[in-house]
């Protein structure tokens, strides 16, 4: 999660972006669902329009047919003609039908069928259709049934309606409703001739065909209009979604940027803590304080907690260093205690012998006594240096005595089988605190002694590098550790759950870094491990220290 | 835990979140959205077209509506013209039967039309009229059964039902009846005759004793067919059957026609005016004038003549001796029938309100039509017509409440009689005109009854169907 790429991928900002995008897509899908609904609505509209147009055409057909029939009702000549007659009235009626059909575009054809038959059972039929020549064979229609018809007016209409397959249940009336015959809308209506002395006298049936091409044309126009409407609405929806999406995502971007900025800054600052050096803690804390929470409670809380942690960690570190130093000294004293006790016993014994004169040869005993006393004084003096050196006083230091004292203390009490190698060349002066540098050496030597096998080798070397730096090397024989394990010694907190062993190398590295130097730990080829501590020479180190201060 | 405690425990510095403002903003936004939703709310504008319905203009009905509007102060009658639009039919068009053309061509106009009883049969059988009882427009049981039957037709072809359906609502009962000089009959201790034999017997007894009486029975010299139809029916004859088909040529009907005509002709000279005297009765009103002057013992005429006689009595009180002085001198009864016939008949002259079947395109139309029919046929309307015009109410409830004694008397002794059948004449004018012509010729002695029948059947041959 600390990888920058991973961080960006899983950051709150990115997640908000994804969430906003997903929400917008969901809304877009919901909006797009309206398009199928729109299609259904348009289809319904088309059906309703078709129905209303059909009803309108039927009403128009009925009206036209009614007007014609009302006009026919004044044709008293109809009462005079019979199937056998061939009078001028016949021609007059034929001409009239021709005029009605020819000069009225909406009327496709007219048939007048007399209800009363002659003695031979024949019915009179006048017919004229615009689309068919009048001399053609008459269309299959009422006249076919009229020839065999006998009865009243209503019976005639019933017969026509039933034979013409008019659905009485739908039409409610026998002579109502259109019938598709070719491209015509047909109307059947009874014809009554108005006579003053007899009233409305039933004559027969009029069959009137109404043109329906106009309705089809209107339907075609409506269909095209709906297609155009669908396309326009689709384009408008997509355009609206695109514009609103761009606007929304732009606004969301700035908004998310704004509200996640404090958390992002805080996370960056908190991330710096992982790599911050002890001397960078103050700077880190300053950066932490500079994070603007912008009123976000969560950021404020985390910031405060981090500040407390940032303040506490250096103090805890100092306490840890102090404790480790004491522990290191404690271990050295404990390791050298048998030697010191042996010296004390031998010292008493020698003093007793010299006092009682029981010594076989007083001179060697006195020399031995002096040697032991000198050794004790050296040990005490070495320890006293550790306590007497001011811990934070920087000065020019000759590291050779410091190294010697550390070596003496570290090797005190080692088993006789251990081979000790000390190779100290003349070293340039360094700038630093004697107490700290002594502790650094002690940490390394103490750690090395802990790694030392019973019959192993322990070495200390000090030399100046070609670059003028001081290199101090502590090595110990034994098993070679892995490089990763060596790094763990330098960074024991890398694995929070796995702090094992001494903190000496890490603290020594810290002291080295504090003095502008560095500590490296490498496995030795012949076995064992080597600690190499490099310190800058006094001139370079002093400039850096003063600059730092 | 309150915010203050939380801060105290956590020691968190209170951030500047402006929670109240944000919450208020959200609430405000929600309210604005809700308000926007409500912008389109509210009742939909009333885009319903006006629902006035049309009806055939009828002057007497309009007069009564105006009278009711003045008397009752009811908004229903006052707003009559606003809700119902009357169609004035020119007098010149009436002979051409213009509504036959309209309804035969499925015209929606008029919605409600006033039809003479024969035309109710003609329109109903043709399927042009809306059935009223089945569709809950009018409850047939509210009407006097005899008149309700006269306005019912069989709609088997239309509805599939076998029973007769009420297709028009009569607002009054009008029919021809027998008027008698009740005071004379009472003086001779006689009752109105039930058969023609009884009538002839009464005349034979009374006429010689009452010198003021010149005629035993008066019938119309013009339009005598209206008087003849109930006589023919009383002899068991029919011109048309219930389906409207011409059946006079069938033997029972033809025999009845000849017998009835023979009966009338046999009475001419002694009881009925002879051919020469008949001419005296051709002018309008001559029949009732003669009866009013006390010159006739019996008269066949419309029941509405009862009101005319009352008016004549009121106008000429004490002017001449022998005139009627009190309407109670007049008795009324059904026209006699042939001996042995179970029923006596009247030729109905009532009009009824019917609904055009083609106008019923939505429930509003039929609701308005129902309102109209309720208005022009309700109890209040009929009682007023009875009190002012002497009309016989067709509603049973109106008959119970009417206070005019003569109206109640006419109903009780004529249309309310158990053996009384109210029947409509044939609607076909050609049939009526033809029969009228030959009836006149027979009454004027130009043809024998048999010849009159043969002549009529010859002219109406095209209407005959095989038996």
Chain A CB contacts of B244 below 8 Å: 152
Task: Give me the pLDDT at residue B378, please.
Answer: 87
The pLDDT tens digits for B102-116 are 888 888 889 999 999
A159 in reach of chain B (CB within 8 A): no
Chain A CB contacts of B101 below 8 Å: 69-70, 73, 192, 194, 200
Residue that is written with structure tokens 């055939």 in the block: B56
Q: What does the pLDDT average to over B251-267? A: 95
Chain B CB contacts of A200 below 8 Å: 96-98, 100-101, 104
User: First and final CA of chain A: distance in angstroms?
Assistant: 37
Q: What does the pLDDT average to over B218-232? A: 93
Task: Give me the pLDDT at residue A212, please.
Answer: 74
Question: What three-state secondary structure class fits A384?
Answer: helix
Contact A151 B465 (CB under 8 A): yes
Which of B416, B436, B454 is at the close of a domain?
A: B416
Chain A CB contacts of B17 below 8 Å: 295, 297
pLDDT greater than 70 at residue B9: no
Q: How would you classify the pairing of strands A125-129 and A430-432? A: unpaired
Nearest-neighbour CA in chain A from B66: distance (Å): 32
Chain B CB contacts of A293 below 8 Å: 15
Q: Please give the biggest Cα pair distance in chain B.
A: 139
Residue that is written with structure tokens 């001449």 in the block: B320
Chain A CB contacts of B430 below 8 Å: 198, 201
One domain, residues B248 and B136: no
Cβ contact B384:B403 at 8 Å: no
Strand partners, A532: A473, A520
pTM exceeding the 0.90 threshold for the entire prediction? no
- Rounded to whole angstroms, the Cα distance separating B84 from B69 reads 14
Say which residues have a Cβ less than 8 Å from residue B399's Cβ, sequence separation at least 6.
B144, B392, B393, B408, B411
Task: Give me the pLDDT at residue A188, please.
Answer: 84
Task: Output B348 or A33, whichever has higher pLDDT.
Answer: B348
Chain B residues contacting A via beta carbons under 8 Å: 10-13, 15-17, 95-98, 100-101, 104-107, 125-127, 157, 244-245, 357-358, 429-430, 433, 462, 465
DSSP conformation letters of A300-312: HHHHHHHHHHHHH
Helix (H) or strand (E) holding A273: helix A213-275
Task: Give me the pLDDT at residue B400, please.
Answer: 92
Task: Give me the pLDDT at residue B444, please.
Answer: 92
B439 found inside a domain: yes
- Rounded to whole angstroms, the Cα distance separating B258 from B276 reads 22
- Rounded to whole angstroms, the Cα distance separating A472 from A399 reads 10
Structural domain boundaries of chain A? Answer: 4-32+220-275, 73-211, 313-548
Residue B91 maps to which CATH number? 3.40.190.10
Provide the H-helix boundaries in B86-238.
98-104, 117-125, 145-150, 156-159, 182-187, 196-206, 224-234
- Rounded to whole angstroms, the Cα distance separating A524 from A300 reads 51
Q: Please give the biggest Cα pair distance in chain A.
A: 190
**Over its length of 549 residues, how does chain A's per-residue pLDDT go in tens digits?**
446 666 666 777 788 888 888 888 888 888 888 878 888 888 888 788 878 887 887 888 888 899 999 999 989 888 888 777 778 888 888 888 888 887 888 888 888 888 877 676 677 778 777 754 444 444 444 444 444 444 555 565 665 555 543 333 333 222 333 444 556 777 888 899 998 888 888 888 888 888 877 777 777 888 888 889 888 888 988 898 889 888 888 888 888 888 888 888 998 888 888 777 777 888 888 999 999 888 888 888 899 998 898 888 878 877 877 788 888 888 888 888 888 888 888 888 888 888 887 767 777 888 888 888 888 888 888 888 877 777 677 888 888 888 888 888 888 888 888 888 888 888 888 888 888 888 888 888 888 888 888 888 899 998 888 888 889 999 998 888 888 888 888 877 766 555 666 788 888 888 888 888 889 999 988 888 999 988 888 776 556 555 554
A59 in reach of chain B (CB within 8 A): no
Question: What three-state secondary structure class fits B421?
Answer: strand
Question: What three-state secondary structure class fits A482?
Answer: coil
Contact B100 A195 (CB under 8 A): no
CA neighbor of A81 nearest in space, from A139, A122, A130:
A122
Contact A190 B104 (CB under 8 A): yes
Task: Give me the pLDDT at residue A164, please.
Answer: 46
- Rounded to whole angstroms, the Cα distance separating A292 from B122 reads 100
Helix (H) or strand (E) holding A328: helix A297-356
B21 found inside a domain: no
Cβ contact B395:B350 at 8 Å: no
Look up the CATH architecture of domain A313-548.
Answer: 2-Layer Sandwich (3.30)
CA neighbor of B190 nearest in space, from B177, B204, B170, B175:
B204
Contact B105 A176 (CB under 8 A): no
Question: What three-state secondary structure class fits A151?
Answer: coil
CA neighbor of B407 nearest in space, from B144, B196, B227, B172:
B172
- Rounded to whole angstroms, the Cα distance separating A207 from A141 reads 9
DSSP conformation letters of A54-111: HHHHHHHHHHHHHHHHHHHTT-GGGGG--TT---HHHHHHHHHHHHHHHS-TTEEEEE
Chain B CB contacts of A154 below 8 Å: 125-127, 157
DSSP conformation letters of A533-548: EEE--HHHHHHHHHHH
Most confident of A1-10, A103-112, B9-18, B32-41: A103-112
Chain B CB contacts of A266 below 8 Å: none
- Rounded to whole angstroms, the Cα distance separating A366 from A368 reads 5
Residue that is written with structure tokens 């670059």 in the block: A467
Please state whether A499 falls in left (phi above 0), alpha (psi between -120 and 50) or beta.
Answer: beta
Q: What does the pLDDT average to over B7-31? A: 57
Chain B CB contacts of A62 below 8 Å: 105-106
Chain A interface mutation, best of B94, B96, B460, highest count of A Cβ atoms under 10 Å: B96
Task: Give me the pLDDT at residue A543, please.
Answer: 60
CA neighbor of B236 nearest in space, from B147, B338, B149:
B338
Supply the DSSP symbol for B269: T
Nearest-neighbour CA in chain A from B63: distance (Å): 28
Cβ contact A511:A439 at 8 Å: yes
Residue that is written with structure tokens 């609103």 in the block: A244
Task: Give me the pLDDT at residue A497, please.
Answer: 58
Cβ contact B297:B210 at 8 Å: yes
Provide the H-helix boundaries in B1-139.
3-10, 19-38, 59-72, 75-78, 80-83, 98-104, 117-125
A60 in reach of chain B (CB within 8 A): no
Q: What does the pLDDT average to over B64-73? A: 77
Q: How would you classify the pairing of strands B176-181 and B296-302? A: antiparallel
Strand partners, A473: A461, A532
Helix (H) or strand (E) holding A499: none
Contact A197 B95 (CB under 8 A): yes
Tell me how many domains chain B contains: 2
Query: How big is the A-B interface in CB pairs under 8 Å?
Result: 82
Residue percentage of chain B with pLDDT more than 70: 88
User: First and final CA of chain B: distance in angstroms?
Assistant: 106
Nearest CA in chain A to B429: A198
The pLDDT tens digits for B139-192 are 999 999 989 999 998 877 666 677 889 999 999 999 999 999 999 999 999 999
One domain, residues B227 and B100: no
One domain, residues B206 and B260: yes
- Rounded to whole angstroms, the Cα distance separating B386 from B380 reads 10
One domain, residues B306 and B340: yes
Contact B95 A158 (CB under 8 A): no
Name the residue facing A200 among B11, B96, B433 (closest C-beta): B96
Question: Which structural domain, as residue segments, surrounds residue B220?
Answer: 176-345+428-462
Supply the DSSP symbol for B356: B
Say which residues have a Cβ less than 8 Å from residue A268's Cβ, sequence separation at least 6.
none
Name the residue facing A301 among B12, B95, B430 (closest C-beta): B12
Nearest CA in chain A to B432: A198
pLDDT greater than 60 at residue B3: no
Chain B interface mutation, best of A75, A152, A174, A304, highest count of B Cβ atoms under 10 Å: A152
B29 found inside a domain: no
One domain, residues B280 and B412: no
Contact B17 A297 (CB under 8 A): yes
Helix (H) or strand (E) holding B223: none
Cβ contact A17:A257 at 8 Å: no
Nearest CA in chain B to A155: B126
CA dihedral B279, B284, B288, B293 (to 10 degrees): -70
Contact A174 B127 (CB under 8 A): yes
pLDDT greater than 90 at residue B298: yes
One domain, residues B373 and B293: no
B27 found inside a domain: no
């Amino acid at each position: 999660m600390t990888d920058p790429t991973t961080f960006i991928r899983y950051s709150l900002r990115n997640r908000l972006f994804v969430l906003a995008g997903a929400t917008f897509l969901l809304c877009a899908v919901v909006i797009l669902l309206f398009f199928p609904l729109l299609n259904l609505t348009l289809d319904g509209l088309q059906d309703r329009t078709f129905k209303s147009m059909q009803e309108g055409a039927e009403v128009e057909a009925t009206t036209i047919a009614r007007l014609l029939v009302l006009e026919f009702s004044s044709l008293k000549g109809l009462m005079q003609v019979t199937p056998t007659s061939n009078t001028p009235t016949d021609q007059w009626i034929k001409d009239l039908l021709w005029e009605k059909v020819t000069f009225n575009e909406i009327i496709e054809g007219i048939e007048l069928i007399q209800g009363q038959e002659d003695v031979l059972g024949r019915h009179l039929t006048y017919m004229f259709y615009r689309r068919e020549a009048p001399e053609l064979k008459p269309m299959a229609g009422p006249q076919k049934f009229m020839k065999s018809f006998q009865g009243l007016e209503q019976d005639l209409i019933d017969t026509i309606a039933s034979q013409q397959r008019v659905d009485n249940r739908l039409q409610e009336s026998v002579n109502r409703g259109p019938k598709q015959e070719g491209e015509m809308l047909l109307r059947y209506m009874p014809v009554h001739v108005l006579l003053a002395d007899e009233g409305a006298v039933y004559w027969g049936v009029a069959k009137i065909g109404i043109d329906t091409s106009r309705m089809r044309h209107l339907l075609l126009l409506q269909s095209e209009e709906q297609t155009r409407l669908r396309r326009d609405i689709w384009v408008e929806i997509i355009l609206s979604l695109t514009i609103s999406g761009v606007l929304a995502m732009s606004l969301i971007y700035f908004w998310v940027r704004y509200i996640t900025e404090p958390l992002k800054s805080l996370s960056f600052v908190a991330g710096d803590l992982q790599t911050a050096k002890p001397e960078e803690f103050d700077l880190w804390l300053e950066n932490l304080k500079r994070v603007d929470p912008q009123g976000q409670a969560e950021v404020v809380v985390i910031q405060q907690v981090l500040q407390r942690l940032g303040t506490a960690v250096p103090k805890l570190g100092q306490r840890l260093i102090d404790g480790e130093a004491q522990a290191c000294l404690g271990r050295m004293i404990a390791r050298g205690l048998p030697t010191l006790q042996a010296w004390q016993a031998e010292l008493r014994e020698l003093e007793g012998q010299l006092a009682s004169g029981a010594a076989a040869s007083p001179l060697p005993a006195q020399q031995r006594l002096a040697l032991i006393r000198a050794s004790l004084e050296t040990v005490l003096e070495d320890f006293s240096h550790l306590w007497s050196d001011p811990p934070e006083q920087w000065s020019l230091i000759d590291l050779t005595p410091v190294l010697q004292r550390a070596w003496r203390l570290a090797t005190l009490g080692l088993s006789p089988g251990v081979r000790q190698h000390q190779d100290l060349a003349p070293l340039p002066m360094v700038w630093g605190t004697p107490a700290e540098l002594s502790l650094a050496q002690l940490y390394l030597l103490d750690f090395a002694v802990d790694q030392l096998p019973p019959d192993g080798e322990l070495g200390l070397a000090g030399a100046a590098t070609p670059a003028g730096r001081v290199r101090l090397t502590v090595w110990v024989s034994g098993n070679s550790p892995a490089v990763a394990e060596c790094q763990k010694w330098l960074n024991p907190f890398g694995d929070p759950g796995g702090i094992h062993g001494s903190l000496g190398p890490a603290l020594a590295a810290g002291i080295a870094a504090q003095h502008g130097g560095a500590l490296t730990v490498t496995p030795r080829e012949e076995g064992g491990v080597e600690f190499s501590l490099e310190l800058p020479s006094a001139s370079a180190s002093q400039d850096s220290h003063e600059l730092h201060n | 835990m309150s915010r203050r405690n939380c801060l105290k425990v956590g020691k968190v510095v209170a951030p500047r979140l402006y929670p109240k403002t944000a919450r208020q903003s959200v609430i405000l936004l929600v309210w604005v959205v809700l308000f926007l939703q409500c912008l389109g709310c509210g009742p939909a504008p009333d885009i319903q077209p006006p629902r006035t319905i049309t009806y055939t203009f009828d002057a007497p009905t309009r007069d009564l509506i105006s009278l009711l509007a003045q008397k009752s102060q009811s908004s229903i009658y006052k707003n009559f013209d606003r809700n119902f639009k009357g169609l004035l039919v020119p007098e010149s068009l009436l002979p051409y039967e213009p509504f036959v053309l309209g309804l035969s061509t499925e015209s929606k106009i008029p919605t409600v039309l006033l039809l003479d009883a024969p035309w109710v049969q003609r329109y109903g059988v043709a399927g042009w009229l809306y059935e009223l009882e089945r569709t809950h427009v009018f409850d047939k049981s509210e009407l006097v059964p005899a008149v309700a039957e006269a306005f019912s037709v069989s709609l088997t072809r239309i509805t599939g039902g076998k029973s007769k359906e009420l297709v028009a609502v009569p607002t009054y009962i009008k029919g021809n009846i027998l008027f008698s000089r009740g005071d004379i009959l009472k003086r001779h201790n006689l009752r109105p005759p039930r058969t023609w034999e009884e009538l002839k017997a009464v005349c034979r007894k009374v006429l010689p004793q009452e010198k003021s009486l010149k005629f035993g029975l008066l019938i119309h010299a013009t339009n005598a067919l209206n008087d003849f139809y109930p006589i023919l029916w009383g002899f068991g004859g029919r011109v048309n059957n219930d389906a409207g088909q011409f059946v006079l040529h069938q033997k029972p009907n033809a025999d009845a026609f000849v017998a009835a005509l023979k009966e009338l002709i046999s009475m001419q000279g002694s009881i009925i005016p002879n051919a020469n005297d008949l001419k005296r009765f051709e002018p309008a009103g001559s029949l009732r004038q003669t009866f009013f002057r006390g010159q006739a013992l019996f008269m066949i005429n419309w029941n509405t003549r009862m009101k005319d006689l009352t008016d004549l009595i009121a106008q000429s009180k004490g002017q001449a001796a022998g005139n009627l002085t009190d309407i109670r001198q007049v008795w009324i009864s059904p026209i006699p029938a042939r001996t042995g016939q179970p029923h006596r008949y009247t030729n109905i002259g009532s009009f009824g309100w019917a609904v055009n079947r083609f106008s019923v395109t939505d429930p509003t139309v039929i609701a308005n039509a129902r309102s109209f029919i309720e208005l022009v046929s309700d109890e209040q309307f009929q009682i007023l017509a009875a009190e002012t015009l002497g009309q016989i109410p067709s509603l049973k409830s109106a008959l119970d409440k009417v206070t005019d004694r003569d109206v109640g008397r006419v109903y009780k002794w004529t249309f309310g009689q158990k053996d009384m059948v109210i029947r409509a004449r044939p609607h076909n004018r050609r049939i009526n005109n033809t029969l009228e012509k030959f009836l006149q010729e027979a009454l004027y002695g130009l043809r024998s009854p048999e010849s009159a029948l043969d002549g009529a059947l010859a002219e109406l041959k095209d209407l005959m169907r095989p038996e």
